[in-house]
């Protein structure tokens, strides 16, 4: 388990020396490239893998795929096959990816495949489509050579599911992606259904490479103990992720239904196009959700993160507890506490 406070200090990645292709001065958040940012404290390890690609002059698209694959592989994280199942006991995964040319692909309600991000990339690169779901997505993955993993819950997920089955109650757990909060397994277990609110398990990552090209991905197991067949924002281009190589890139985490409602990541990018900084664009998107939700906003969490074409970064969330990881050098990979509205 990772405690986010450990990462408030800059962490060395233990990598050898490197000449950065460019640094751009800015009065806002230090503008840099290459740069990669990702949601929650699991983003620290994901950024490390992404940085290995970026520091060697690799493409942002490869960086974000390699980055979130680390999180998808983790049995201790709430992303990937080790995550909590739906209420029928099956882990179902959602993911999308988008490159600097507006190419994009996604998969949703995908079962027994370890790396949905890589299947999403194949959808983008090998099909005329943007989104494949369920059995069709799995069939495509197998045809593409992805192994079908056993239908088996991780020990943590099995424990949580058994606990959840005792009451089968749905209660939202705000900021559950923050590993520091998972100590409370009793609180972790339930997810909410009775008023339409959910908990959630996501990593979103956006990056700019040394050539100034942007890409992003978002990958998740979705809300723990969700209704079977439920899909959130993460595989939906414009909601969980959006990239416009002229402007910037944004991704979302938290209650997907409310991100979809405002086309959240697309909104953040369009606000940056109008001149807002990444942080202010994220803030405006969060405020829009709060306006729609009214008094119910206090029961949910949504966080956005974004980078712009100048290499500035920022994030904002509904309420305290969200953080994101920022990496732009061998010895600069650190957590930032998201500013919040409520
Ligand atoms: N944001 C992830 C989900 O709601 O599924």
> What is the spatial order of strands in the sheet that 104-110 belongs to?
131-133, 104-110, 93-98, 214-220, 202-208, 35-39, 323-329, 332-337
Residue 232 Cβ contacting ligand 1 at under 6 Å: yes
- For the entire predicted model, the pTM comes to 0.86
The CATH number of domain 33-337, selected from 3.40.50.300, 3.60.20.30, 2.70.98.60, 3.40.50.1700: 3.60.20.30
Most informative mutation of 84, 173, 253 for ligand 1 (most atoms within 8 A of CB): 253
Among the atoms of ligand 1, which is closest to the Cα of residue 232?
A: 5
Per-residue model confidence (pLDDT) at position 194: 39
Cis peptide before 34 (omega within 30 of 0): yes
- The closest alpha carbon to 261, from 238, 244, 279, belongs to 238
pLDDT at 224: 86
CB contact at 8 A, 98 and 237: yes
29: annotated active-site residue:
no
Bridge partner list, 327 = 36, 333
pLDDT at 23: 38
What pLDDT score does 18 carry? Answer: 35
Mean pLDDT by runs of 10 across the 342 residues of the chain is 32 36 47 93 95 98 98 83 93 98 98 98 98 98 98 91 83 55 36 38 94 97 91 97 98 96 98 98 98 93 96 96 95 96 94
pLDDT of residue 167: 81
């Amino acid at each position: 388990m990772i405690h986010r406070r450990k990462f408030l200090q800059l962490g060395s990645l233990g990598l050898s020396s490197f000449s950065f292709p460019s640094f751009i001065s800015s009065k806002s958040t230090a503008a840099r490239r290459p740069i990669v940012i990702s949601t929650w404290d699991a983003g620290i390890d994901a950024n490390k893998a992404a940085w290995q690609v970026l520091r060697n002059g690799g493409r942002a698209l490869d960086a974000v795929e390699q980055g979130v694959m680390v999180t998808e592989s983790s049995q201790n994280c709430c992303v990937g096959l080790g995550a909590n199942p739906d209420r029928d006991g099956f882990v179902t995964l959602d993911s999308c990816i988008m490159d600097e040319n507006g190419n994009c692909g996604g998969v949703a309600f995908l079962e027994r495949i370890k790396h949905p991000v890589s299947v999403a990339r194949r959808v983008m690169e090998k099909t005329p489509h943007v989104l494949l779901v369920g059995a069709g997505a799995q069939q495509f993955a197998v045809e593409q050579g992805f192994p079908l993993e056993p239908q088996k819950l991780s020990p943590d997920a099995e424990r949580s599911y058994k606990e959840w089955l005792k009451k089968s109650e749905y209660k939202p757990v705000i900021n559950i992606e923050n590993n520091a909060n998972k100590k409370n397994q009793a609180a972790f277990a339930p997810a909410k259904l009775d008023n339409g609110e959910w908990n959630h398990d996501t990593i979103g990552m956006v990056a700019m490479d040394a050539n100034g090209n942007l890409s992003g991905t978002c990958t998740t197991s979705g809300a723990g103990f969700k209704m079977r067949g439920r899909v959130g924002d993460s595989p939906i281009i414009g909601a969980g992720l959006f990239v416009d190589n002229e402007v910037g890139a944004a991704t979302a985490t938290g209650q997907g239904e409310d991100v979809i409602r405002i086309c959240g990541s697309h909104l953040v990018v369009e606000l940056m196009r109008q001149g807002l900084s990444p942080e202010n664009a994220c803030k405006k998107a969060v405020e829009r959700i709060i306006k729609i939700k009214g008094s119910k906003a206090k029961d949910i969490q949504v966080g956005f993160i974004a980078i712009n074409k100048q290499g500035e970064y920022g994030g904002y969330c509904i309420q305290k507890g969200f953080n994101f990881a920022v990496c732009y050098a061998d010895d600069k990979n650190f957590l930032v506490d998201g500013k919040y509205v409520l």
